[in-house]
């Protein structure tokens, strides 16, 4: 293991205490909440996190949080990123080029420490848990504040699925909350408010002109990855935000699992009107790209007979749009556009 630099031990001290369940809404308190500077304290995933000074060497361990930080204009305060599924939006490519990429997937704990972080953020509890990069407690011992996307904190442990489960559907509010939290941590609240306002405006514009009667009768399926044991969206994650926004029906809204693995015979039996397909660039599952997914759908004897496949009713989304991130809005926009153009058989 690398020797921990002395600067790391004193930068951005962290206070973590038990503070309610994982479903608890993040709330910012302290001087920064009223514009008075640091320290900033906030409740996050059942813990209270205190950031004593503005982070200058932040590390983001998942693409979702990375894109928020870059959108907030924080590239010059980032010491590393990791875990990528998609190309970046063009508007973020230049800023991202300034930030070191520690790994395409999970980096080692030692690799993160080499970046001398004074703040570490992730999109998923699993990234900062056992089996991930390191636990929050490990960073706590080094005085490094950690933050997890609030969207992942709302999963429950009553129904155990492949990627956890939810009993309450996500809304865009939890994504706006993450933007606002990170803006406050870095002292860029005005920029955070501008980003949230822009996302809200795009959400409103995306659903204009949708026929609610037609939408209610339209069924969709969300396929994230894997052709052998495909991960399909359940009721209540980011695809639920998309489906609820456009007024359509997810054919697997009868499961609370985030991404249950469902066999193709069941998919074909439910025969959705649209297939929303993840177009990923990573290489950890089978059929990651949209091209490979469509090739499978159109050659597999079970799936090639589905109406959506025969009529090529596909909507291609980035992995980030299918996770609860600022790009979920992109998912709403694309599914809404397909729905407006759809003429169902009478």
Domain boundaries, the chain: 6-157, 207-341
Look at residue 59 in the predicted model and tell me its pLDDT: 98
Question: Which of 303, 329, 138 shows the shortest CA–CA distance to 221?
Answer: 303
In the predicted structure, residue 121 carries a pLDDT above the cut 70 = yes
In the predicted structure, residue 319 carries a pLDDT above the cut 60 = yes
Q: Is 73 helix (H, G, I), strand (E, B) or coil?
A: coil
What torsion, rounded to 10 degrees, do the Cα atoms 269, 270, 276, 282 define? -50
Q: For residue 281, name the pLDDT band (cuts at 50, 70, 90).
A: confident
Answer for the pair 61, 170: CB distance below 8 angstroms, yes or no. no
Question: Which of 307, 318, 317, 303 shows the shortest CA–CA distance to 342?
Answer: 307
pTM, entire model: 0.86
In the predicted structure, residue 32 carries a pLDDT above the cut 50 = no
Same fold, 6-157 and 207-341: yes
Architecture of the domain defined by 6-157: 3-Layer(aba) Sandwich (3.40)
Look at residue 241 in the predicted model and tell me its pLDDT: 97
6 versus 103: which is more confidently predicted? 103
Percent pLDDT > 70 in the chain is 87
Q: Which residues contact 58 (CB under 8 A, 6 or more apart)?
A: 69, 74, 77, 78, 79, 117, 118, 119, 120, 121, 186
The fold of 207-341 is Rossmann fold (3.40.50)
In the predicted structure, residue 149 carries a pLDDT above the cut 60 = yes
Count Cβ atoms below 10 Å from residue 48 Cβ, excluding itself.
17
In the predicted structure, residue 111 carries a pLDDT above the cut 60 = yes
Look at residue 9 in the predicted model and tell me its pLDDT: 33
Burial of 2 (0-12, 13-18, 19+ CB in 10 A): exposed
């Amino acid at each position: 293991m690398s020797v921990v630099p002395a600067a790391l031990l004193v930068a951005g001290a962290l206070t973590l205490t038990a503070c309610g369940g994982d479903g608890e809404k993040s709330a910012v308190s302290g001087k920064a909440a009223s514009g008075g500077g640091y320290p900033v304290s906030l409740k996050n995933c059942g813990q209270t996190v205190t950031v004593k000074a503005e982070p200058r060497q932040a590390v983001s361990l998942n693409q979702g949080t990375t894109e928020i930080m870059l959108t907030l204009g924080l590239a010059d305060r980032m010491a590393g990123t990791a875990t990528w599924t998609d190309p970046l939006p063009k508007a973020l490519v230049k800023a991202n080029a300034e930030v070191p990429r520690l790994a395409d997937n999970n980096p080692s704990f030692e690799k993160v420490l080499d970046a001398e972080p004074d703040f570490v953020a992730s999109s998923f509890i699993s990234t900062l848990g056992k089996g991930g990069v390191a636990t929050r407690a490990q960073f706590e011992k080094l005085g490094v504040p950690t933050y997890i996307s609030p969207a992942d904190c709302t999963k429950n442990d009553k129904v155990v699925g492949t990627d956890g489960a939810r009993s309450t559907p996500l809304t865009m509010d939890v994504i706006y909350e993450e933007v606002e939290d990170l803006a406050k941590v870095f002292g860029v609240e005005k920029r955070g408010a501008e980003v949230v306002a822009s996302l809200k405006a795009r959400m409103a514009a995306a659903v204009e002109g949708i026929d609610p009667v037609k939408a209610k009768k339209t069924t969709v399926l969300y396929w994230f990855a894997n052709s052998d044991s495909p991960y399909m969206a359940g009721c209540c994650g980011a695809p639920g935000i998309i489906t609820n926004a456009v007024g359509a029906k997810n054919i697997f809204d009868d499961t609370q699992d985030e991404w249950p693995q469902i066999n193709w015979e069941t998919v074909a039996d439910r025969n959705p009107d649209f297939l929303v397909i993840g177009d990923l660039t990573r290489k950890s599952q089978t059929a990651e790209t949209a091209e490979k997914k469509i090739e499978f759908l159109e050659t597999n004897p079970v799936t090639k007979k589905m109406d959506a496949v025969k009529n090529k009713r596909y909507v291609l989304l980035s992995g980030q749009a299918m996770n609860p991130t600022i790009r979920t809005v992109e998912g709403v926009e694309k599914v809404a556009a397909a729905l407006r153009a759809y003429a169902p058989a009478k």
